[in-house]
Amino acid sequence: MKPQDILFIIILAGLVFAKKPKLLVGAGLLCFVLSMPLFAHWVFFTAERLVMYGAGFLLVAIIIFAVKNL
């Protein structure tokens, strides 16, 4: 497990604990935004990781939204 993975898990846990799915959506989209310049500069490893984290944040957001709304 890489340091960035641990950071992702910590942030994810914090946001899940806060139970504010829109924050998770924001974090997910921010990951996508941050990965764009990295891809442009061929920093592929971190950029790819950011996209995966982004999707992870969004997935958890969808689950929380669903649990709250359904």
Partner 1 sequence: MRKNIFILFTCLLAIILLVIFHSYFSSTLVTSGDWVYYYPQGVHDAQFLAAWDWRHDGLGASILPTLWLESYFIATIKISLILGWGLYEKIFWFLPFLAFSIISSYLLAKKVTNSKLFSLLAPLIYSANTYILMVMGGGQVGVGLAYSFAPFVILSFLNTVENTNLSTSFVLGLMLAVETIFDIRLSYIVIIALFLSLLFFIFSSKEKKNLRTIFYCFILPGIVTAFINAFWLLPVAVVGRDAFNQFGTIYSSNNAVSYFSFAKFENSIGLLHPYWPDNIFGKVSFMKPEFLLLPLFAFASLFFINKKNVREGQVILLFALLGLIGAFLAKGTTDPFGGIYLWMFNHVPGFVMFRDPTKWYLLVALSYSVLIPLTVVRIYEFLLIKVKKSKYYSYGFIAAVVLSLLFLIKPALFGQLNGTFKAVQVPSEYQQLANYLSHEPQGRTLWVPTTQRFAYNSENNPAVSAQDIFGIYDQKKLIKKLHQPGTEKFLQDAGIQYVIVPIDFQHEIFLADRQYSEKVYDQTLWGVSEIPWLNRLWRFGNLAVFEVPTPKDHIWSPNPDLQIDYSVVSPTKYTVTVDHAKKGDRLVFSETYDRHWIGNITNDNVELTSVKYDGILNSFILPTDGNYTFTISYTPQTLVNVGAGVSALSIVCIIIVIISQKKKGKTKKI
User: Which stretches of the chain bind partner 1, using CB under 8 A?
Assistant: 21-22, 25-26, 28-29, 32-33, 35-40, 42, 44, 47-48, 51-52, 54-55, 58-59, 61-62, 65-66, 69-70
Cα separation of 70 and 58, whole Å?
17
Q: Tell me which H or E stretch contains 21.
A: helix 21-40
* Shortest Cβ 39–partner 1 spacing (Å): 4
Cα–Cα distance between 25 and 31 in angstroms, integer?
Answer: 10
Least Å distance between CB 53 and partner 1?
A: 10
**From CA 56, how far away is CA 63, in angstroms rounded?**
11
Nearer to partner 1, 7 or 33 (CB): 33
